[in-house]
Amino acid sequence: MTILILFSLLGIAFLVFLFALVVLPSPSNPEGSAKSLISAHHALSVLQHSLLSERLTNQIFSDEDLKYVSSIGSPEVVELLLAERRRLALLWVAQVRSQIRNLMRFQRTQSGFYANLSVSAELSLVNGFWSLLLFCRALEFFIVLRGPYRARSAVRRTVSAAAHLCDLTGGPIAFLSSMAADLTVAPYRGGKAAK
Amino acid sequence: MDRRRHLEVESAVADFNRRTLSSIRRPLDRMIYLSSMRDCNTGAYYHDGLADRFSDEAACEALARCHFEAFLEVSSASLADLVSQMEGYAAATHSVPIDFIAVWKRLEPYRVAIPVDMDPLVTEFLFSNFKLALAIWENRLKNRSAGEPISSQLRKPDRRSPLHQDRQNSSNLRPTEGGELV
């Protein structure tokens, strides 16, 4: 009996250790931390200002262009439109997934330095990330099988879930927004105009 | 950017819009025209008149911003609108539609007409729309010319090669100081 209790305690201690490895921030050097912070900020910015914007999702998934092309009466052009929109839709899902993974990496390794989240909040966030990644994968299959125009309600759900995660992750690094404007230097900015 | 520079850029944008861009009605024409003012090696924009009135840096940034705005307008256009803009642009450059389509399909000149540092997905969406617009336009021309000899519908008797035509069109893109396409 004593041995059983001892092994149970060891097992629990091992589980706690594994949980700490996954959830708690790992020690890192300041340079790596800054890189990770900037990368997370970039991921947030891309998601919030581009990928999740209503304008872009409407353009890719709206059937307005399909109606117009169908009215032309050319099956080849309709086929080309469907192939192009499917390609773009898959590209969109892949980019959302990639940026979500970046945020997840930041959350796993660095967020402890910037946000004091409770264990339950951390767990709920991790659950949110994994659910969204799985949902994105399912969405990809759906788009391949049924095309982008039938995936609109699933896209809306993806956008709303991703936006919610962005809000949760974005709070602790909001201070970077003002800095980013100064850090981001487009090639043409400040470039001496050539005669 | 400090406030003074910001104000200078704002004035340069307003000046350029008033003097030049207001006379170029189609966003597609504006985007191509503005891309022709960019040095492809450095990404810097240059316009004589604007650089005379403002500093080089402000003029460069103002042109970059106008280019960005034109890009946004073109990329948010519907396919129907884009087809009509392309037809208008080809007509303005005195191109024969079938030659224009052939050259644009082969060379994809729109790929160098976009501003730098654009969102890759939006850019890809625009390229895809250009491809579709060319297919739609080509299909429309084929339907229109069905039953008639293609040469009489689409080609003038003494045509030069499409590439020659394209080179000439490129040089036609530069408007005068007043803004008209020459």
Percent of chain B topping pLDDT 70: 80
- Our count of domains for chain A comes to 1
Over its C-alpha atoms, chain B yields an Rg (Å, rounded) of 18
Residue among B59, B78, B132 whose CB faces A80 most closely: B132
Residue-number span of the structural domain to which A71 is assigned: 33-181
Question: Are A91 and B121 inside 8 Å of each other by CB?
Answer: yes
- What contacts B127, CB < 8 A, 6 or more positions away? B108, B110, B111
Average pLDDT, chain A: 81
Question: Are B76 and A59 inside 8 Å of each other by CB?
Answer: yes
Q: Please give the pLDDT value at position A20.
A: 72
Give residue-wise pLDDT tens across range B54-69.
999 999 999 999 999 9
| Confidence category of residue B127, pLDDT binned at 50, 70, 90 | very high
Q: Please give the pLDDT value at position B161.
A: 43
Q: Which candidate, B165, B182, B174, B179, places its Cα nearest to that of B38?
A: B174
Give the number of residues written for chain A: 195
Residue A39 lies in a domain: yes
pTM above 0.80, yes or no: no
Residue A26 lies in a domain: no
Q: Please give the pLDDT value at position B179.
A: 44
Residue among B46, B121, B139 whose CB faces A77 most closely: B139
Average pLDDT over residues B153-182: 45
**Residues of A whose CB is below 8 A from B42:** 187, 191, 194
Residue A75 lies in a domain: yes
Rounded to the nearest 5°, which phi and psi values hold at B45?
A: -100, 150
Query: Do the beta carbons of residue A100 and residue A136 sit within 8 Å?
Result: yes
Q: Please give the pLDDT value at position B141.
A: 92
What is d(CA A80, CA A69) in angstroms, rounded to the nearest whole number? 10
On the question of pLDDT at B181 being above 50, the answer is no
Q: Please give the pLDDT value at position A115.
A: 60
Chain centroid to Cα B122, Å, comes to 17
Report DSSP state, residue A117: -
Q: Please give the pLDDT value at position B148.
A: 64
Locate the chain A residue with the closest alpha carbon to B124. A88
Which of A51-55, B51-55, B149-153 has the weakest average pLDDT? B149-153
Q: Please give the pLDDT value at position A184.
A: 45
Whether B135 has its CB under 8 Å from any CB of chain A: the answer is: yes
Question: Are A68 and B79 inside 8 Å of each other by CB?
Answer: yes
Residue A187 lies in a domain: no
Give residue-wise pLDDT tens across range A43-85.
888 888 888 888 899 999 999 999 999 999 899 999 999 999 9
Q: Which two tokens stand for residue B151?
A: 């040469």
Query: Do the beta carbons of residue A120 and residue A20 sit within 8 Å?
Result: no
Question: Are A194 and B131 inside 8 Å of each other by CB?
Answer: no
Give residue-wise pLDDT tens across range B93-118.
999 999 999 999 999 999 999 999 89
Residue ranges for chain A with pLDDT beneath 50: 182-195
What is d(CA B66, CA B101) in angstroms, rounded to the nearest whole number? 27
Domain boundaries, chain B: 3-172
Q: Please give the pLDDT value at position A27.
A: 53
Residue A7 lies in a domain: no
- What contacts A180, CB < 8 A, 6 or more positions away? A41, A45
Residue among B46, B125, B139 whose CB faces A195 most closely: B46
Query: Do the beta carbons of residue B55 and residue B2 sit within 8 Å?
Result: no
Q: Using beta carbons and an 8 Å cutoff, which residues of A are at the interface with B?
A: 46, 50-51, 55-56, 59-60, 64-65, 68-69, 72, 74, 76-77, 80-81, 84-85, 87-88, 91-92, 95, 186-195
Residue A188 lies in a domain: no
